[in-house]
Amino acid sequence: MPVTVSAVRVGDVVMPQSWPAGSVGVAVAGNSYVFDTVDDFFSADIAPRLGTNVLAAPLVVGAKFAGMHYHKQAPTISYAVTRNIDLPGCMWLNVEAAGRGVYDWTALDAFVALAASGQRDVIVDLMGTPTWASARPTEPGHYGAGSDAEPADVADIAAFAAAVCARYLALGTPITAIELWNEPKYADGGGLAQGNYFTGTPQALAAIARAVYAAVKAADPNVLVLSPAPTGLEFPWVAGDGSGTDNLDRFLAAADGSGGTGRDWVDAIAFHSYSHNGLNNLFAIPQMVSNVRASMALHGLTGKPIWITETSAITPPLDSYVVQHQQDYIARTLLLALGCGVERVVWYAWDDPLGFATQPDVASRWNELVAQLAGATLTLVNSLASRQVAAIVGGVRVLV
């Protein structure tokens, strides 16, 4: 509890009668000084001037909560989830480049086999329409002509999703989840220069979701279908504001062309917790999760799992920080996300400027955090006004 000390006057100076040992801050209250100690950081009833409690109730962290992306260099750290985005040869437009039903599984097979060798879960994102299947095959796209457009026939993307699920189930290395798209902003969100990875409409994406969900569940009922993963959720959501939250909400509300809406075809909600304000404000993660939960509640999805399928320091990139700041950024991100009830957190990406493949001390800290958090009970997570996080993990206090 804060320590209250009466004020005394010494000449023209008013000061506290004493200064308690271990004090970390002080406030004035009438004729007294109120000193805060480190203990106050670990209070579930933390004073608003010190921070906010983001943990609604004690929870057990999943043993396989921690994930990592990579491009070419397989991570040498502990991770339990991986995702195919930006891995050469592993996206839809790579696997089925030659035409309908003509598959080159070489790269995706290697990716899944490596994951299986470490008993890791696999997320396959369906972003990236092959030119032959695209509704707008001449439109510039991030991965080639037409790649950001919806398929002209949703049966094509559904068939690909089913082929993926069926193949790896038969091989004894089933995938864990299909993600419906990556960072959609729709046709009114701009084109290639604006980082819009889906230039169709919310209704087109809902139609994709309906077709893919049915195909996936027929091929392997155990595969989870994740919502499209938006980015740009750091500010309080106002319906119609064009934010990542709004892009998620528009999908969930969109008619799927067959009497349902996007909300009918997801087992879990995915989003990306990047902060795009140029300051990498990871302390916005509780706001992001709150936004997601608000949209979920509107569509009757309260209680569905929430996954962060991409996160890192993005502007500026993680590797621009000194090692200690990288370590702290990772720790705070994981603690805040887990404290808000996010079930999976997948870092992007091991071997690029947002990762730490060239930083052994950061990699070591990641391993320590994963070992400490996986399977542990969180009983407190406080986001501090000092831009730190205080948590109790498995009965142990953590202040980063």
Question: Digits of tens for pLDDT over the chain (400 positions)?
Answer: 788 999 988 888 888 988 888 788 888 888 899 898 899 999 999 999 899 999 999 999 999 999 999 999 999 999 999 999 999 999 999 999 999 999 999 999 999 999 999 999 999 999 999 999 999 999 999 999 999 999 999 999 999 999 999 999 999 999 999 999 999 999 765 567 677 999 999 999 999 999 999 999 999 999 999 999 999 999 999 999 999 999 999 999 999 999 999 999 999 999 999 999 899 999 999 999 999 999 999 999 999 999 999 999 999 999 999 999 999 999 999 999 999 999 999 999 999 999 999 999 999 999 999 999 999 999 999 999 999 999 999 999 999 9
Asked whether 206 and 256 are in contact (CB, 8 A), the reply is yes
Domain limits, CATH 3.20.20.80, in the chain:
59-399
Report the 10 Å Cβ neighbour count for 199.
26
What lies within 8 Å, CB to CB, of 249 at 6+ separation is: 237, 239, 295, 298, 299
Instruction: Give the HSE-up count for residue 17: Cα atoms under 13 Å, Cβ half-sphere.
Output: 8
Asked whether 233 and 276 are in contact (CB, 8 A), the reply is no
What lies within 8 Å, CB to CB, of 297 at 6+ separation is: none
Q: Which of 91, 79, 179, 82 is nearest to 129 (CA)?
A: 91
Q: Which of 231, 294, 304, 297 is nearest to 266 (CA)?
A: 304
Integer Cα distance of 320 and 305 in angstroms: 33
Helix residue ranges, H only, the chain: 38-41, 92-95, 106-117, 154-170, 202-219, 244-253, 285-298, 323-339, 360-373
CB contact burial 221-243 (16+ within 10 A = b; e otherwise) = eebbbbbbbbbbbbbebeeeeeb
In this prediction the pTM is 0.95
Q: What is the largest CA-CA distance in the chain?
A: 89
Asked whether 72 and 108 are in contact (CB, 8 A), the reply is no
Helix residue ranges, H only, 220-322: 244-253, 285-298
Fold of 59-399: TIM Barrel (3.20.20)
CA-based R_g, the chain, Å: 23
Burial degree of 360 (CB within 10 A; 0-12, 13-18, 19+): exposed
